[in-house]
Chains A and B, each alone.
Chain A
Amino acid sequence: MTAAAQRWPTARRRRGGVDVAAAANLVAELTTYLSAAFALPTAAALWYGESPWPFAGAAAITLAAGLGVGRATRGRERVGLREGFLVVSLTWLVAAAVGALPYLLSGEEQLSSPIDAYFEAMSGFTTTGSSVLTDIPDLPRSLLLWRQLTQWLGGMGIIVLALAVLPRLRVGGRQLFQSEAPGPEVEPLSASIRSTARRLWLLYLALTVAEVAALSAVAVTDLDPEMTFFDALAHALTTMPTGGFSPRGRSLEEFGAATQWVVIAFMVLAGANFGLMYVALVRRDGRALLGNEEVRLYLLLLALAAAVLAVDLGAHGVAAGEHAVRAGAFQAVAIMTTTGYASADFAVWPALAAAVLVGLMFVGGTAASTAGSVKVVRHLLIGRILRRELDQTVHPEIVEPIRLQRMPVEERTVRAVIAFFLLYVTLFAAGTLVLMFDSEIGGLGLAPFEAVAAAATTLGNVGPALGPAGPMGSFQPFGDASKIVMILLMWLGRLEIVPVIVLFTVRYWRK
């Protein structure tokens, strides 16, 4: 063995440009730890007297597969910059597969097709909230809880969680963190990524507990007779990750005004910057949060959208008074933060309201939130980039940095934002076309705007669409090809496109 080969043990064995085995090794390790997540539904199954075997079986399969792949690729632990993208992308594909296991093992008729089970699991982990179920309350409670839990695990990110707890990821974690964390640049809360990840998860956990408490309080004080502790837990698990799954057949419509207002408040929090919220809480100073340009625009857009919806609902006599305000606020917040709950069947709302909601699917929350979609900061930056372009046509020599919070933004980041937006729009358009095409062939009879909504809702990780896949409907009628396309859109959307799409370039795999 030459000296060089000794210094770089993987260099000799690596053939292509990417060390797939090393990436697989890390994904296998992460998967192994994921099997621990089955503890909660197993316990719930025993508590409710339901069968725990789907979860025990899924845990066993996950553990065996994880350990097996880990053993086969032992000694290949060096994950570099390139492998990072592969690790992040694969982890989410594998996590969705793991999530689908209990659905298949339970023998539940609604999820008996592997594609349906995988769709439901991918929709869970990516916190989308689109569902192929047609009769949700029919599922065993333990399985419903697992469905909620997948969203909670996916919300702050599987890899961010791993960074917080796994010692192995101390090296090279920064890049993995940036690939998975939402927004163009998540500012680390501390010099170490590990403690940043810990703080984010801690706040996430604390907010979830707070929502369980708030909803339980609604139940205990009898403000809402529908609310139970199970509902409180189930909804807290899908509000904070802006997920949108509900164990109820008609989502939040089944609950009263008190519950809906509490959920609105927590959805607004879930779509806001967790890093800034952490700073605001620790320093007991709200200025860090409310002085942030993006957070201000986020709140402004929410208020504006809520007002437009309320007025439109009032004008068409769909709702009036407090009900109109609440329905408008709830739906605007639920869609813009990409949560995807519904407090009414907005698929039958007037055209303006429907158009506003589909528009909101492209907005999203702030950077470093659990929300999906384009995100407010990118819209803000794109607005400023356009303003600069116009200025430069009149004054060709002007040198004008794009600023965010008064700080200049690097041109590289500016380009990345433009590229992201173009990729986003392209994928959305391509997705819409494929859905239309499949619907024409398969005889689903999707209206063009419904295809637009379905592509936008899955790519933005929102949840409900319009038409048959509306908030009270189901994605069940879509053909398999459409479902696969939507699975891909959810996956791309959650990882903010770029880490996934580089895998499909030739140069990524070359030396």
Chain B
Amino acid sequence: MRIFLIGAGQVGTTIAEALYDEHQLTVVDLDASRLGGIAHRFDVATVQGNGASRRALQEGGIRDAELVIACTSRDEANIIAAMLAKKLAPAARTIVRTANPEYLEVWRERQLEVDFMVSSEEETAHAVSRTVGVPAARQTDVFADGQVQVVEFDVEPGVRADGVVGLPLREAAIPPDSKVASIIRGDQAVVPRGDQSIQVGDRVVIIGSPEAARAWSALMARGKRRVDDVVVWGAGRAGTAIARQLLERNIAVRLIEADRERAREVADQLQSVRVFHATGFDPDFLERERVGHATAAVFAMRDDAKNLYGATLARLHGVQLTIALAHEKVSVEVFERAGIDVAINPRQLTAEEIVRFAHDPRTQQVAMLEGDRYEVLDVTVRPESALLNRPFRQLPMTGSLIGAIVRDGRAIFPHGDDVLLPGDRAIIFTDARRATEVERTL
């Protein structure tokens, strides 16, 4: 595959390292010395220039690219680069890195012509969430004003889902109002027939109601200890993203922020978080607020040294689980040597997620483009469809799956006895080769 990589910082370098062996890489960056470093280590072509400039992209030969990854630290430059790429290389899929949760939201609502968007903050929040034992759902698609969600989970070792994992699907206790749309195992996607089962290490795609998504989230939780009190140091973008994610999972969060104005801003935004204006290094403060009793302490400040110091202090105060962000690659090892339980490198995570996407068999399904293997369709059922008025249990199982029906603006999650009516909108997960056939049948 011909891959165009814009941005040769820490994220770009990690991606290049993972992909250069199997693919043809062209790397664009403003900084010649960074390009020199990357070209020295890996066998890639380099172009010095602005990734958001048409000339630089054309010069690099973007016309033939199949995948364009824009991962500079500037959100707007990344988006413009991806948009230009869509025009200059119509066949290419685009991946954009962003730090702004609003862009992510806009992209999810399909207002941005980008195939995949990754946010370091969001990935970091997922990672923290997983570490404290409540895995975050990766929401990929939303239909019918949020009534139908397409969500995916990593099935990690030690999940509590005894009634689901390892059992044939027809016997598994699947939460109501949800269906397993696909099971991703390695780079294979398994059609979820009744005799198939979910295994540890899989990624599962679920179509269901928001409540069902929460039920799945609970199922996929690890361990028995309930997490109910997490203290987060630093209310920057990463800190607030972590707080938001944990809140969504009903975990009480306390935020400590040293900057008064930022503290107020975050307190305004997050109603149920208790925000403190403090450095978080004052032993009196830590004692007064009983920080030692927290189930976990997360250090999301910008400075690795502060994160390390804070985490060590928190351990002294008796916190059981310390998680710290390590912005520099080398810090990960330093942190682990120092006894911090988990060190998270946001850029590393971002790069990993981008690489995973590049390898994902369903890449094009997420983007809903033609020509790849899987798609989620949103089809209105025609009055002359052959599938009308037949109970679902009688419909053939063919690798396409109707996850939900939207009738009169309300979502229904069909059971065996339900029937399709003309005018229904069906949310369907399907093999892309069958997409046209599915659309014709309906």
- A interface list, Cβ under 8 A from B: 395-401, 403, 406, 408
Q: Tell me the residues in window 397-432 of chain B with beta carbons closer than 8 Å to chain A beta carbons.
A: none
Chain A residues whose CB sits within 8 angstroms of the CB of B288 once the complex forms: 395-396
Q: Are B289 and A395 in contact (CB under 8 A)?
A: yes
Please determine whether A397 and B285 come into contact, CB atoms closer than 8 angstroms.
yes
Q: Which of A399, A401, A403, A406 contacts B277 (CB 8 A)?
A: A399
Which residues from A are CB-within-8-Å of B260? Answer: 399
A interface footprint on B241-271 (CB within 8 Å = 1, 0 otherwise): 0000000000000000100100110011001
B264 touches A401 (CB 8 A): yes
Taking a contact as CB atoms under 8 Å apart, the answer to whether A401 and B268 are in contact is yes
Known pairs A397-B289, A399-B275; list 17 more (Cβ under 8 Å). Answer: A395-B288, A396-B288, A397-B276, A397-B277, A397-B278, A397-B285, A398-B274, A398-B277, A399-B257, A399-B260, A399-B263, A399-B264, A400-B275, A401-B264, A401-B267, A406-B271, A408-B268
A400 closest partner in B (C-beta): B267
Residue of A whose beta carbon sits closest to that of B289: A395
The A interface, classified by DSSP as helix, strand, loop or mixed, is: loop
4 closest A-B pairs (Cβ-Cβ)?
Answer: A408-B268, A397-B276, A397-B278, A399-B275
Q: Is A398's CB under 8 angstroms from B268's CB?
A: no
CB of A403 within 8 A of CB of B271, answer yes
Q: Is the CB of B271 within 8 A of A399?
A: no
Interchain CA distance A437-B28 in the complex, whole Å: 86
Chain B residues in 8 Å Cβ range of A395:
274, 276, 288-289
A400 to B268, CA, bound (A): 8
B264 cross-chain contacts in A, Cβ below 8 A: 399, 401
List, sorted by A's number, 27 A–B pairs whose CB atoms are closer than 8 Å. A395-B274, A395-B276, A395-B288, A396-B288, A397-B276, A397-B277, A397-B278, A397-B289, A398-B274, A398-B275, A398-B276, A398-B277, A399-B257, A399-B260, A399-B263, A399-B264, A399-B275, A399-B277, A400-B267, A400-B274, A400-B275, A401-B264, A401-B267, A401-B268, A403-B271, A406-B271, A408-B267
Minimum CB–CB distance from B262 to chain A (whole Å) comes to: 10
What separation, in Å, do the CA atoms of A216 and B263 have in the docked complex? 59
The interface residues of chain B lying within 8 Å CB-to-CB of A400 are 267, 274-275
**B275 partner residues in chain A, CB cutoff 8 A:** 398-400
Contact of B276 among A399, A401, A403, A406 (CB under 8 A): A399
Distance of A394 Cα from B62 Cα, bound (Å): 61
With both beta carbons as reference points, the residue of chain A lying nearest to B260 in the complex is identified as A399
Interface residue range, chain B:
10 to 19
Nearest neighbor of B276 in chain A, beta-carbon distance: A397
A402 to chain B, nearest CB (A): 10
Q: Which residues of B contact A397 (CB under 8 A)?
A: 276-278, 285, 289
Residues of B within 8 A of A406 (CB): 271
Contact mask for chain B residues 291-315; partner A; CB cutoff 8 A; 1 contact, 0 none: 0000000000000000000000000
Cβ–Cβ < 8 Å partners of B263 in chain A: 399
Q: How far is the CB of A405 from chain B (nearest CB, A)?
A: 11
Distance in angstroms between the alpha carbons of A450 and B376 in the assembled complex:
76
Alpha-carbon distance A309/B373, docked complex (angstroms)? 74
Q: A410 → chain B, closest Cβ, in Å?
A: 10
A396 vs B275: C-alpha distance in the bound complex, in angstroms? 11
Nearest chain-A residue to B280 (Cβ)? A397
Which residues of the partner chain B approach A399 to less than 8 Å between Cβ atoms?
Answer: 257, 260, 263-264, 267, 275-277
Residues of A within 8 A of B267 (CB): 399-401, 408
Complex CA distance for A403 and B285, rounded to whole angstroms: 26
* B79 shortest CB reach to chain A, Å: 30
Which residues on A sit within 8 Å (CB–CB) of B268?
A: 401, 408
Q: Which residues of A contact B271 (CB under 8 A)?
A: 403, 406
CA–CA, A408 to B266, complex, Å? 11
CB of B271, distance to nearest CB on chain A (Å) = 6
CB neighbours (8 Å) of B276 from chain A are 395, 397-399
Specify which chain A residues have a CB less than 8 angstroms from the CB of B289 in the assembled complex: 395, 397
A408 to B276, CA, bound (A): 16
A400–B277 Cα distance when bound, in Å, is 10
Nearest CB of chain A from residue B317's CB, rounded to whole Å? 16
Complex CA gap A389/B234 in Å reads: 24
Q: Which residue of chain B has its CB nearest to the CB of A408?
A: B268
State A400–B270 Cα separation when bound (angstroms): 10
Min C-beta distance of A445 to chain B, whole Å = 55
Write out the residue numbers on chain B whose beta carbons fall within 8 Å of the beta carbon of A398.
274-277
Q: How far is the CA of A10 from the CA of B257 in the complex (A)?
A: 49
Please measure, in the bound complex, the distance between the C-alpha atom of A148 and the C-alpha atom of B267, giving whole angstroms. Answer: 49
A107: shortest Cβ distance to chain B, in Å? 62
- CA–CA, A1 and B285, complex, Å: 65
- Docked pose: A28 CA to B274 CA in angstroms: 54
> Which residues of chain B come closer than 8 Å to A403, judged between CB atoms?
271
In angstroms, Cα B268 to Cα A408, docked, is 6
A400 to B278, CA, bound (A): 13
User: Closest residue to A410 on the B side, CB-wise?
Assistant: B268
Note all chain B residues with C-beta closer than 8 A to A408: 267-268
Chain B nearest CB from A378 CB (Å) reads 21
In angstroms, Cα B206 to Cα A32, docked, is 72
What residues of chain B lie closer than 8 Å to A401, measured between beta carbons? 264, 267-268
Smallest CB gap from B255: residue in A: A399
Chain A minimum-CB-distance residue to B256: A397
Q: In the assembly, what is the distance between CA of A396 and CA of B268, in Å?
A: 18
A399 to B269, CA, bound (A): 12
- Chain A, Cβ-Cβ closest to B275: A399
Q: In the complex, A406 Cα to B278 Cα: how many Å?
A: 25
Give the shortest distance, in Å, between A392 (CB) and chain B (any CB): 11
**Shortest distance between the CB of B257 and any CB in chain A (Å):** 8
Nearest residue in B to A403 (C-beta to C-beta)? B271
Compute how far the CA of A408 lies from the CA of B275 in the bound complex, rounded to whole angstroms: 14
Cα of A401 to Cα of B267 in the assembled complex, Å: 7
Q: Determine how close the nearest CB of chain A comes to the CB of B21; give it in whole angstroms.
A: 50
Interface residues in B320-375 (C-beta closer than 8 Å to A): none
CA distance A377 to B275 in the complex (A): 25
Q: In the assembly, what is the distance between CA of A408 and CA of B285, in Å?
A: 26
Residue from the set A395, A399, A400 with the largest chain B CB neighbour count within 10 Å: A399
Min CB–CB distance A364 → chain B (angstroms)? 28
Minimum Cβ distance to chain B for residue A396 (Å): 8
B231 to chain A, nearest CB (A): 13
For the complex, what is the distance from the CA of A189 to the CA of B289, rounded to whole Å?
44
- Considering residues A396, A398, A400, A403, which has the most beta carbons from chain B within 10 angstroms of its beta carbon? A398
In the bound complex, CA of A406 to CA of B277 (Å)? 21
- A412 shortest CB reach to chain B, Å: 13
Q: Return B267 CB to nearest CB of chain A, in Å.
A: 5
B33 to chain A, nearest CB (A): 43
For the complex, give the distance between the alpha carbons of A401 and B261 in Å: 12
The distance in angstroms between the C-alpha atoms of A211 and B268, with both chains bound, is 43
Once the chains are docked, how many angstroms separate the CA of A399 from the CA of B275? 5
Tell me, in angstroms, the Cα distance from A408 to B265 when the chains sit together: 10
Docked CA distance A395–B267 (Å): 15
Give chain A nearest CB distance to B432 CB in angstroms.
Answer: 44
Minimal beta-carbon separation of B232 from chain A (angstroms): 14
Q: Give CA–CA (A401, B266) in the complex, Å.
A: 10
Could you tell me the distance between the alpha carbons of A237 and B278 in the complex, rounded to whole angstroms?
A: 57
Q: Which residue of B lies closest to A395 (CB)?
A: B289
- How far, in whole Å, are A34 and B267 apart by their CA atoms in the complex? 49
CB distance from A485 to the nearest CB of B (A): 43
Give A397 to B260 CA distance when docked, in angstroms. 10
Name the CB-closest residue of A to B271: A406
- In the complex, the chain B residue whose C-beta lies closest to that of A398 is B276
Collect the chain B residues with CB atoms within 8 Å of residue A396's CB: 288
Give the CA-CA distance A447 to B150 in the complex, in Å: 73
Bound: A373/B257 CA distance, A: 40
* Docked complex Cα distance between A395 and B278 (Å): 11
A396 to B267, CA, bound (A): 15
B366 to chain A, nearest CB (A): 34
A403→B289 CA distance, assembly (Å): 23
How far, in angstroms, from A396 to B289 measured CA to CA in the complex? 10
| Complex CA distance for A399 and B255, rounded to whole angstroms | 10
CB distance from B300 to the nearest CB of A (A): 17
Residue of A nearest to B285 (CB): A397
Task: Give CA–CA (A113, B288) in the complex, Å.
Answer: 68
CB distance from A148 to the nearest CB of B (A): 46
